[in-house]
Structure 1
């Protein structure tokens, strides 16, 4: 019975040593790719994979706002375009009867430009979502232990009696 206890303790010590030999920050080269893929499939999912939940409302707010302005500008563009087409056919019973034909053309260009810019913003925020998830996952694996540090330093210059401010890079082997 005593031997069994010793063997059980040795096994526990060996398992603990194996756990300690594995660092919690082991580098997984696929983590950034997974986060980027998840964000590409569903915006915000890569941020959830990285456990940065506070970024998800920002992602949906940016993409949603841009999408709202796209839809609004597209609706108004179609209304103005339809009114312009009816004017060319000789009708003057649209809701823009207070505008002349030149103003309708100007309004079409305005709403078309806003729609196109909103499209670029939607695509830009979507891409930024993917890039953010990728970079955040890569930086999560970055080595920030005490052996490598960058610290501000303040030293006195005894000749001029002034303080010198600088940065020191310390690397311990």
Structure 2
């Protein structure tokens, strides 16, 4: 009996450590220290050489690194040297002064000859209306004078006038003749103001067109897309894209 008890106690002493409760969480090993400065300096090394040279393809577009403008050539309008020289010769101030001196001259300086007929067509319409309303105003003024004072006949008593014709209208009263004169005179003056306004529009248009012709469309004003390695908290360096806008 004592022998069996001794064997049981020996078995318990050996088996109990195997059934002991293990910790639920095993602590992670401490990471080795890293040099963050060295990691940032090697940012460009994380981008493959093929990507640095040829860019990143996204769909049908290729994102090229800085300095590689070969794939951007199709996005810009190519201008020959002679066209560039002609554009650079245009000075907005000269176009403005020429249009101020003579309408349409600034448009000719900008080599936009097709605009000149429209300018002179506007002046032609306003000139026609000015002459028409001026004649009607003169007729109304003369009719008012005849209705009020009569028609001179070489004597001290002029012949009375009961009606006058102004344009296609028959006027029988002094009030009607006076109203017609005021109306036609206002139309005449309005055409003068519109002609001056058209002259001013001609000057402004020549100036704006000259500025647009000399607007810089070179690669200096552009959007550049290039690959970059971006530092992310907790993830280190991850591939990314950098977009740079250049303004003047």
Q: Same fold (TM over 0.5)?
A: yes
Q: Which residue does 1:118 correspond to in 2?
A: 191
Residue 169 of structure 1 deviates from its aligned partner by 8.5
Alignment of 1:47-126 (within 5 A): 47-90=107-150, 91-92=161-162, 94-96=164-166, 97-126=170-199
Tell me what 1:171 maps to: 246
Distance in structure 2 (CA, Å) of the matches to 1:94 and 1:169: 78
Structure 1: 5+ residue stretches without partners: 1-19, 151-167
Over residues 118-164 of structure 1, what are the superposed CA-to-partner deviations in whole Å (9 max), with x where a residue is unaligned?
111000001111111112112211112344248xxxxxxxxxxxxxx
Measure how far apart 1:68 and its partner are.
1.4
> SS of the counterpart of 2:84?
coil
TM score, norm. by length of structure 1: 0.66
Unpaired segments ≥5 residues, structure 2: 1-79, 151-160, 224-242
Write the deviation string for residues 50-103 of structure 1: whole angstroms up to 9, x where unpaired.
011111111111122112111111111111111111111123463245442221
1:138 alignment partner in structure 2: 211
Q: Quick one: distance in 2 between partners of 1:25 and 1:170?
A: 27
SS in 2 for 1:148: coil
Q: Deviations over 1:2-40 (max 9, x none)?
A: xxxxxxxxxxxxxxxxxx999936996981121112112
Q: What are the within-5 Å matches in structure 2 for residues 150-169 of structure 1?
A: none
Cα pair 2:130 2:188 within 8 Å, conserved: yes
- Corresponding residue of 1:36: 96
Based on CA coordinates, which of the two structures has the bigger radius of gyration?
A: 2
Compute the displacement of 1:106 (Å). 1.4
- What's the Cα RMSD here? 3.1
- Kept after mapping to 2: 8 A contact 1:35/1:49: yes
- My pick for the range that moved more, 118-127 or 102-111, is 102-111
Q: Write the distance in 2 (CA, Å) between the matches of 1:21 and 1:71.
A: 50
Q: Is the 8 A contact 2:171 2:177 kept in 1?
A: no
CA contact (8 A) 1:26 1:141 kept: no
Instruction: Looking at secondary structure, tell me which structure has more helix per residue.
Output: 1
Q: Post-superposition shift, 1:112?
A: 1.1
- Counterpart in 2 of 1:127? 200
